Amino acid sequence: MIASLNGIVKRYDSKLVLDYIDLEINEGQIIGLLGPNGAGKSTLIRCLTGMETVNQGNVTLFGDGKKPFQNKNKEKIGLVTQEISIFPELTAKENANFFAGVYGLKGEERKRRVAEALAFVGLAEQTKGKAQNFSGGMQRRLNIACSLVHNPKLLIMDEPTVGIDTQSRNHILQAVKQLQSKGTTILYTTHYMEEVEAIASEVVILDKGQIITKGTVQELIQNIQHEEKIKVEVSHPEEVSLANIQALPDVKQVIKDGNQILIVTSANSGHLDRILTIIKEDSGVVGINVEKPNLEDVFLTLTGRTLRDGGSV
């Protein structure tokens, strides 16, 4: 096991920020830590890395539960901070060199690792450019390179894609997958569920300081999957027999909306073929769309609120 949190409680004065958190991070995983703003994600990271002392519970890093935050263990951790924390006056290469030195890299190895880290984030051509002249996306990528330069076993990424363009976001997500394939374990926090769905091998959903659920994306969705929506676009909607569709078992609702027929069925009812057969008897089928639940629906089901803004629906 790379790291674990056992019964972690963190309070700021009387405000409970982390409420008995239990979390295990195993080697080679990408754990997507998902939650709305203020859920406690950043505090969890601060407790995991020793930046904050915990009020209760234990942190174990690399099997070390007695002195988890000693330098020997810190050397194996890379942190991509939520806010860009590079030195704007230094060049990309100097920034990476600074952190390489801090993590004890020397000589040829240091040169090689700096070059590799900058190339990995797509900044090989901008090594001599000052960070302050970089775009937001490039600064984000340099922020990541500085965390990778020492080849950490555990990379913690705290909302690394906030405020950047789609191209840089995709580059970062691809980089995360590549890192996993090289054996790096990643804890990735975000409030963008699309990112977690794209990269995470396990998802942990945090809300109001509590882990409300965890598992793979599929597991989480299956747990809340009660129904699916099938939208069929037809050429002659007036001729389609809605009653025949409604008569099928597990079909809960059939609605005609213009050229579209919306059929709500129980999850995994397996009726798609039969529904299409019925419709084809009366009309041509122009298009089909089956809407599956996503992590947003998981969060909505468990909390009654939307993930992106934490607002009620």
Partner 1 sequence: MMRVLRTIPYTLIRMSRDYITLLLLLVVPIILITIFYFVLGDMKNQYGDLAFYDTAQLMTLVFQLFGGSIVIAYIQDDLFSARRQRILVAPMSLPLYALSISLCGMFFSIFLGFLLVLFTGVGLNVEWGNVFWVMYIIALLAVLSSLVSLILIFSVKNIKLAERLSDVYGIGCVVLAGLFFPIPDYPVITFINEYLNPLLLAANAISYAQSNLFSDAYIYMFRLGIGIVITFIIVYVLGRRKI
Q: Where do contacts with partner 1 occur on this chain (CB under 8 A)?
A: 46, 49-51, 71-72, 74-75, 77, 79, 81, 83-85, 87, 89-90, 94, 97-99, 101-104, 130, 146-147
CB 185 within 8 A of CB 26: yes
Q: Taking the complex as a whole, how short is the minimal distance between the CB of residue 71 and partner 1, in angstroms? A: 4
Q: Taking the complex as a whole, how short is the minimal distance between the CB of residue 256 and partner 1, in angstroms? A: 55
Residue closer to partner 1 by CB (options 99, 134) is 99
Task: Return the SS3 of 260.
Answer: strand
Q: How far, rounded to the nearest angstrom, does the alpha carbon of residue 278 sit from its chain's CA centroid? A: 41
Residue closer to partner 1 by CB (options 138, 146) is 146
CB 148 within 8 A of CB 35: no
* Overall size of the chain counted in residues: 313
Q: Taking the complex as a whole, how short is the minimal distance between the CB of residue 43 and partner 1, in angstroms? A: 12
Q: Taking the complex as a whole, how short is the minimal distance between the CB of residue 37 and partner 1, in angstroms? A: 17
Largest distance between two CA atoms of the chain: 78
Residue 257, exposed/middle/buried by CB under 10 A (0-12, 13-18, 19+)? exposed
Residue closer to partner 1 by CB (options 5, 232) is 5
Q: Taking the complex as a whole, how short is the minimal distance between the CB of residue 85 and partner 1, in angstroms? A: 4
The Cα 273–Cα 211 span in angstroms is: 39
Region for 178 from its dihedrals, namely left if φ exceeds 0, alpha if ψ lies in -120 to 50, beta otherwise: alpha
Buried b (16+ CB within 10 A) or exposed e, 266-303: eeebebeeebeebbeebbeeeeeeeeebbbebbbbbeb
Q: Taking the complex as a whole, how short is the minimal distance between the CB of residue 225 and partner 1, in angstroms? A: 38
Residue closer to partner 1 by CB (options 76, 271) is 76
Residue closer to partner 1 by CB (options 80, 206) is 80
Residue closer to partner 1 by CB (options 129, 310) is 129
> Helix (H) and strand (E) counts for the chain?
11, 13
The Cα 63–Cα 118 span in angstroms is: 31
Q: Taking the complex as a whole, how short is the minimal distance between the CB of residue 63 and partner 1, in angstroms? A: 17
Return the ∠ at Cα 243 (arms to 239 and 245), rounded to 5°: 90
Give the number of other CB atoms < 10 A from CB of residue 94: 16
Residue closer to partner 1 by CB (options 158, 228) is 158
Residue closer to partner 1 by CB (options 143, 283) is 143
Q: Taking the complex as a whole, how short is the minimal distance between the CB of residue 89 and partner 1, in angstroms? A: 4
